[in-house]
């Protein structure tokens, strides 16, 4: 189990890197830096400008941009290494299946999930950044991170965990965070991050014209190039405002949950976990405000993606503390 948990912890770090790198690729418009999959312009290594003519002949609609191509391929390489780690965890789980402490279901599920994630990565390219696929790819990455963290954290408790009440608080906070992460993914996939360039109003109004039906339409058909977004202004505003409202709700619910857990948890692990949750949700909310105020600078936008992952990890930690077995 020691080797298994060490490998799971390596997987957590690597998955966090992949998630943040995925946000960096998306935010720099490099999601279609390689118009094919799994290679890049027919090569396993991103081509340089000496191959620009051949690349242009093969994909005339996607002129070669070596910077974007390399960003996309580095992300794919990192995801491939993560896949190997997850398959190794599944193999270890099968080899150690007679050990009563060995988790089996989650490692095997993760092996299936990483294959589905690879398919979503392929569809992200072949379906030209379809928002539903892009958001699904993000949520799959976050689910992978959460499950790896669950495996990496210790299972046995030495002190009381606070009982059913702490479990309910942790569960509600985690559910709210997942919904907000999904909304954030929908904002990014539909290029709605700057639909409201002012705070606390949106386009100088408290309640601007919003088209929720178009903004949250899941399917727009095949063959559409979604790079840069296809939605009109009021649809993007609807997505952005919904995410803002969700951010306030998340801050309120998760923040109160962290305060409650810090005050009521009977042991140090629970109080420490609550402090980590509170710090993560405050940092994420502050970065979100700064992003709008500073017109979406790339470092802050990438940090926003990273803090979402850290908030998720802190909530998984709090949940694991609440559910530790005797």
CA 134 to the chain's CA centroid: 10
Closest by CA to 260, choosing from 276, 280, 279, 274, is 274
Q: What is the CA radius of gyration of the chain?
A: 21
Q: Alpha helices of 153-232 — where are they, by DSSP H?
A: 163-189, 212-215
Closest by CA to 130, choosing from 31, 22, 196, is 31
Catalytic residue among 57, 61, 72, 101: 72
Closest by CA to 320, choosing from 181, 180, 185, 161, is 161
53 is catalytic: no
Under 8 Å between Cβ of 145 and 313: yes
Under 8 Å between Cβ of 223 and 167: no
Helix (H) or strand (E) holding 5: helix 2-27
Under 8 Å between Cβ of 194 and 301: no
Q: At what angle do helices 66-95 and 131-152 cross, to 10 degrees?
A: 40
CA separation for the pair 163, 24 (Å, rounded): 40
Under 8 Å between Cβ of 155 and 4: no
Beta-carbon count within 10 A of 150 CB: 18
Under 8 Å between Cβ of 304 and 287: yes
CA separation for the pair 104, 60 (Å, rounded): 47
Catalytic residues: 72
């Amino acid at each position: 189990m020691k080797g298994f948990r060490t490998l799971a912890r390596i997987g957590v770090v690597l998955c966090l890197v992949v998630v943040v790198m995925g946000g960096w690729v998306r935010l720099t418009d490099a999601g279609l830096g390689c118009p094919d999959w799994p290679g890049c312009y027919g090569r396993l290594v991103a081509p340089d400008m000496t191959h620009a003519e051949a690349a242009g002949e093969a994909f005339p609609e996607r002129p070669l941009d070596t910077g974007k191509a390399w960003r996309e391929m580095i992300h794919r390489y990192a995801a491939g290494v993560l896949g190997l780690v997850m398959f190794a965890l599944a193999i270890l789980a099968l080899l150690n299946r007679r050990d009563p402490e060995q988790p089996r279901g989650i490692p095997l599920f993760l092996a299936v999930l990483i294959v589905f994630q690879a398919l979503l990565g392929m569809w992200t390219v072949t379906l030209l950044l379809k928002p539903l696929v892009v958001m699904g790819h993000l949520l799959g990455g976050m689910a992978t991170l959460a499950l790896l963290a669950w495996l990496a954290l210790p299972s046995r408790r030495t002190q009381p965990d606070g009982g059913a009440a702490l479990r309910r608080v942790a569960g509600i906070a985690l559910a709210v965070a997942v919904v907000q992460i999904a909304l954030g993914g929908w904002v990014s996939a539909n290029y709605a991050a700057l639909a409201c360039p002012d705070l606390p109003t949106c386009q100088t109004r408290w309640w601007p014209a919003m088209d929720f039906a178009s903004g949250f339409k899941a399917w727009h058909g095949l063959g559409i190039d979604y790079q840069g977004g296809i939605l009109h202004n009021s649809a993007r505003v609807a997505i952005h405002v919904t995410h803002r409202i969700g951010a306030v709700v998340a801050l309120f619910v998760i923040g109160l949950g962290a305060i409650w857990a810090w005050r009521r948890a009977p042991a140090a692990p629970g109080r420490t976990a609550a402090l980590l949750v509170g710090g993560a949700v405050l940092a994420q909310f502050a970065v979100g405000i700064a992003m709008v105020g500073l017109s979406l600078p790339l470092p802050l936008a990438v940090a926003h993606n990273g803090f979402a992952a850290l908030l998720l990890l802190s909530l998984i930690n709090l949940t694991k503390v609440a559910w530790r077995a005797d």
